[in-house]
Amino acid sequence: MHIAEGFLPSPWWYLWFLVAIPVLLIGLRRMRVIVDRSPEAKVLLALAGAFTFVLSALKMPSVTGSCSHPTGTGLGVVLFGPAVTSVLASIVLLFQAMLLAHGGITTWGANVTSMGIIGPLAGYAVWRLTSSLSTSRRVFLAAAVADLATYVVTSLQLALAFPSGEGGVLRSFEIFAGIFALTQVPLAITGGIVTVAVFRYLLELRRDLLVELGIVSGRGVRT
């Protein structure tokens, strides 16, 4: 992630489009509901999108045909959930493919599936399952897990497209995941820390809006 333009062979590149598009339609509908209910949420949507764009643009070389970087989707997951985050990530990935040559158009569906759908779903599951922890710990874990899950999915996508001659898909997955882990584990930790810092700033600046959106309670939050 990002998987480079033209790197995935048929039928894999368009199969991932079939996975991504229905989820994006659900996310667009959810986004409309949020904005209709609270127009001020547009500011947070823009912030979450910009945060994802900046962090995921900081890439370093990794597996051939791909790269390592923070995903930045954790903030969107905490603020709006995985469906809306999939839309934000899809827009970010489209602009990065066209303007920065990060990823590509034919691999957009695969990149959206990993970074915009399954990664955020994993992060959101952690966010919901850790309600007994402080808010900062929950945000950190959600962001870090969303990041790591993205690279697990990317490793699987590459393994399915390029199975090893000896050991097949499983062996190929082990190789891709092992290489990604060298860079992605520290990046996930760093991304989680940065996400916590931004969320705590939002909590100080616009706690009223976070309460209105149901992200935090009005009774006080353990940070």
Q: Domain ranges for the chain, please list them.
A: 12-212
Residue 223 has pLDDT above 60, yes or no: no
How do residues 31-64 score in pLDDT, each as one tens digit? 999 999 999 899 999 999 999 999 988 876 666 5
* Distance in angstroms (rounded) separating the CA atoms of residues 101 and 104: 7
> Which secondary structure element, helix H or strand E, spans residue 98, and what is its range?
none
Conformation bin of residue 65: beta by default, left when phi > 0, alpha when psi is -120 to 50: left
How do residues 171-196 score in pLDDT, each as one tens digit? 999 988 888 888 888 899 999 999 99
Which is higher by pLDDT, 61 or 76?
76
Which is higher by pLDDT, 160 or 67?
160
Report the CATH architecture of 12-212: Orthogonal Bundle (1.10)
- How many CA atoms lie within 13 Å of 58's alpha carbon, on the beta-carbon side? 14
pTM of the model: 0.90
pLDDT-derived band of residue 2, with 50, 70 and 90 as boundaries? Answer: confident
